[in-house]
């Protein structure tokens, strides 16, 4: 039997995923040890797990380096990879939003030219160009996007909002909601055919727990 390989987004998402997998019998004790290992194995069940940067998880899955991945919907929308999205796991919930100073609401609705700062240029482009049919200038940032409207780099931002407290502290508000976000399970297209029974068995077990 070949290994079933999982790519998990590092951090809280991976921890929640492993709790969920353990509850349906897909455990990996190696992951609980303090180690510098990159790949963790459960020899009995022929399972392999590795942790990756969230934005890399869809790439590992699309190219077959991992059969299954768990990552946020925001990353899937941004990366636009060719894979099966099979389950909404329901944790890691937040919202993709357009945010900015309150007075920018009128500018958003008036169709005027806007500068938008974001870590998610594809999501921003899709929202403004296709959904709103509005031309905007999109500026890609990698750090705290909340800074952009404060220092005059952009009028609004497209970013994830969990509680909204960071926005509030910086005098910003949610102006429009783009979509809800949560953790999703994705599967490589070839793996789905080759390992259909094992993968659907996992999906069904997880569904019952959810």
- How far apart CA 83 and CA 93 sit, in angstroms, is 22
Considering the chain, tell me which residue range(s) the CATH 3.40.190.10 domain(s) occupy: 4-92+182-209, 94-181
Contact between residue 104 and residue 156 where contact means Cβ atoms under 8 Å apart? yes
Task: Return the CATH architecture of domain 94-181.
Answer: 3-Layer(aba) Sandwich (3.40)
Task: Return the CATH architecture of domain 4-92+182-209.
Answer: 3-Layer(aba) Sandwich (3.40)
Contact between residue 157 and residue 149 where contact means Cβ atoms under 8 Å apart? yes
Q: How many angstroms separate the first and last alpha carbons of the chain?
A: 28
10-residue averages of pLDDT along the chain (210 residues): 94 94 91 85 95 97 98 97 97 96 89 92 96 94 95 97 92 96 98 97 94
Contact between residue 206 and residue 185 where contact means Cβ atoms under 8 Å apart? yes
Query: Tokens 């946020």 label which residue?
Result: 72
Q: Model-level pTM greater than 0.85?
A: yes
- How far apart CA 161 and CA 120 sit, in angstroms, is 13
């Amino acid at each position: 039997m070949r290994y079933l390989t999982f790519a998990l987004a590092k951090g809280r998402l991976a921890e929640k995923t492993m709790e969920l997998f353990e509850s349906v019998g897909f455990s990996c004790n190696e992951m609980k040890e303090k180690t510098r290992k990159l790949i963790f194995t459960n020899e009995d069940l022929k399972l392999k797990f590795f942790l990756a940067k969230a934005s890399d998880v869809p790439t590992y899955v699309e190219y077959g380096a991992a059969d299954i991945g768990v990552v946020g919907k925001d990353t899937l929308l941004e990366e636009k990879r060719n894979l099966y999205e099979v389950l909404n796991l329901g944790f890691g919930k937040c919202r993709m939003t357009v945010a900015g100073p309150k007075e920018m609401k009128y500018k958003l609705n008036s169709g005027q030219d806007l500068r938008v700062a974001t870590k998610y240029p594809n999501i921003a482009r899709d929202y403004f160009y296709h959904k709103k049919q509005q031309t905007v200038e999109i500026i890609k940032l990698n750090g705290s996007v909340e800074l952009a409207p404060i220092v005059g780099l952009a009028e609004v931002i497209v970013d994830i909002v969990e509680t909204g407290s960071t926005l509030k502290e910086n005098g910003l508000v949610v102006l429009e909601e783009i979509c809800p976000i949560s953790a999703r399970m994705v599967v490589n297209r070839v793996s789905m055919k080759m390992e259909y029974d094992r993968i659907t068995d996992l999906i069904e077990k997880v569904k019952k727990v959810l």
